[in-house]
């Protein structure tokens, strides 16, 4: 679906990875953020053309999604204003349309969802609760991607719902405020405010307050790691685990993966520069440890799982961060998925590597929650 869901909260879709938009002013007992998705993979999707020059190793299913995304012929994001960019199609749109075109049947979700506003309405949460059992459940605080500028809870619903269903956990998905309307470090502060709220309200959510983890994708991966750092610094309960999926971890856009995949889709090098300009007050802030995690004090952080995609400018960010965490004495597990691009994690219905990555993340979290 288009990112203009940020402006309209009325649309509800009947197919996978489409969901009703977050509703401002929702009370926890009065309304529901409804969602629909699945984690089954439908095989047999065939690309229409040859592999792109920027991704010769791309898997067929991944290429089909990218071909569909390209077919919308949106203007390059980095040439637009933030408001215009949020109207561009997303990879979620491509998945949705492929589901329609291939008549894929979507099972009923295994979670209930409800919306909740916190921090005087500045931050909206979507809370996923398993339908089976009565708890207490483990709790995951999830942060979506979008370069701190675009996307929303709807665009990343598939990831959050898959984690809730596969881990058997409550997931609190955080709609932190976006740039350029809200500059650095607003998203980082919102991320921590949401984590603090989750810790304080775990019992009310039917969660086990001793079993809380953080997960994030891309910009959200950066936020999740920062939440752990801030929890350590402020001496509140650390997450028991963090899963960082192709996180933004440093400011050098001349790494090998940036150079190799500078023209990749759905994320390329010019887009990363645009995101940085939109979020930061000055480019000097790119070296701030909150943005360049590789410059941060990483000692004492929780065990960490880092997932990377091969065809991704941010691939090396994840590897560099893993090395820095290990050097700081943090237990780290990493897994790279070949032939897939940035944003693949939420595409489990269509892309086998996404299904495998979700299962891997779920296994890591379940082990941490034991």
Are 118 and 125 in contact by the 8 Å Cβ rule? The answer is yes
Classify residue 132 by burial, with Cβ atoms within 10 Å: 0-12, 13-18, 19+: exposed
Who's near 201: CB < 8 A, 6+ residues apart?
A: none
342 among known catalytic residues:
yes
Runs of H (alpha helix) within the chain: 60-71, 82-85, 91-101, 157-167, 186-200, 219-234, 256-260, 269-279, 315-327, 352-369
Q: How many of the other CB atoms lie within 10 Å of CB of 102?
A: 13
Residue with tokens 């963090």: 242
Distance CA 42, CA 22 (A): 28
323 among known catalytic residues:
no
**Residue 335: beta bridge partners?**
307
Angle of helix 60-71 relative to helix 91-101, nearest 10 degrees, comes to 100
Are 60 and 255 in contact by the 8 Å Cβ rule? The answer is no
312 among known catalytic residues:
yes
Question: From the candidates 312, 315, 316, 317, which is the catalytic residue?
Answer: 312
Question: From the candidates 39, 173, 218, 292, which is the catalytic residue?
Answer: 218
Closest by CA to 31, choosing from 12, 14, 18, is: 12
Distance CA 255, CA 11 (A): 41
Question: From the candidates 124, 188, 241, 342, which is the catalytic residue?
Answer: 342
Positive or negative: CA dihedral 72, 78, 79, 80:
positive
Annotated catalytic residues are 218, 312, 342
């Amino acid at each position: 679906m288009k990112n203009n869901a940020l402006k309209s909260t009325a649309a509800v879709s009947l197919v996978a990875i489409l969901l009703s938009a977050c509703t401002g002013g929702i009370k926890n007992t009065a309304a529901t953020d409804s969602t629909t998705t699945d984690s089954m993979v439908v095989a047999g999707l065939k690309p229409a053309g040859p592999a792109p020059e920027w991704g010769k190793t791309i898997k067929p299913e991944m290429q089909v999604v990218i071909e569909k995304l390209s077919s919308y012929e949106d203007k390059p994001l980095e040439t637009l204003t933030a408001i215009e960019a949020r109207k561009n199609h997303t990879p979620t749109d491509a998945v949705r349309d492929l589901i329609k075109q291939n008549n894929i049947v979507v099972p009923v979700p295994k979670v209930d969802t409800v919306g909740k506003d916190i921090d005087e309405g500045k931050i909206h949460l979507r809370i996923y609760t398993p339908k089976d059992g009565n708890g207490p459940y483990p709790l995951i605080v999830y942060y979506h991607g979008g370069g701190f500028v675009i996307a929303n809870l709807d665009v990343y619903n598939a990831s959050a719902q898959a984690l809730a269903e596969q881990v058997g956990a409550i997931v609190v998905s955080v709609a932190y405020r976006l740039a350029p309307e809200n500059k650095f470090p607003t998203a980082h502060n919102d991320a921590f405010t949401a984590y603090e709220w989750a810790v304080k309200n775990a019992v009310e959510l039917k969660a086990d307050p001793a079993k809380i983890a953080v997960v994030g994708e891309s910009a959200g991966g950066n936020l999740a790691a920062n939440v752990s750092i801030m929890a350590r610094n402020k001496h509140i309960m650390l997450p028991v685990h963090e899963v960082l999926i192709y996180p933004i971890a440093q400011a050098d856009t001349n790494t090998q993966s940036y150079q190799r995949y500078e023209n990749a889709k759905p994320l390329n090098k010019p887009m990363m520069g645009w995101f940085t300009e939109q979020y930061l007050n000055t480019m000097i802030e790119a070296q701030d440890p909150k943005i360049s995690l590789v410059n941060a004090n990483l000692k004492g952080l929780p065990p960490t799982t880092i997932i990377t995609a091969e065809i991704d400018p941010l691939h090396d960010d994840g590897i560099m961060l893993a090395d820095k965490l290990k050097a700081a004495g943090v237990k780290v597990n990493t897994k790279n998925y070949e032939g897939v691009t940035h944003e693949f994690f939420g595409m489990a219905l269509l892309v086998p590597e996404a299904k495998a990555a979700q299962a891997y993340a779920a296994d890591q979290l379940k082990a941490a929650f034991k």
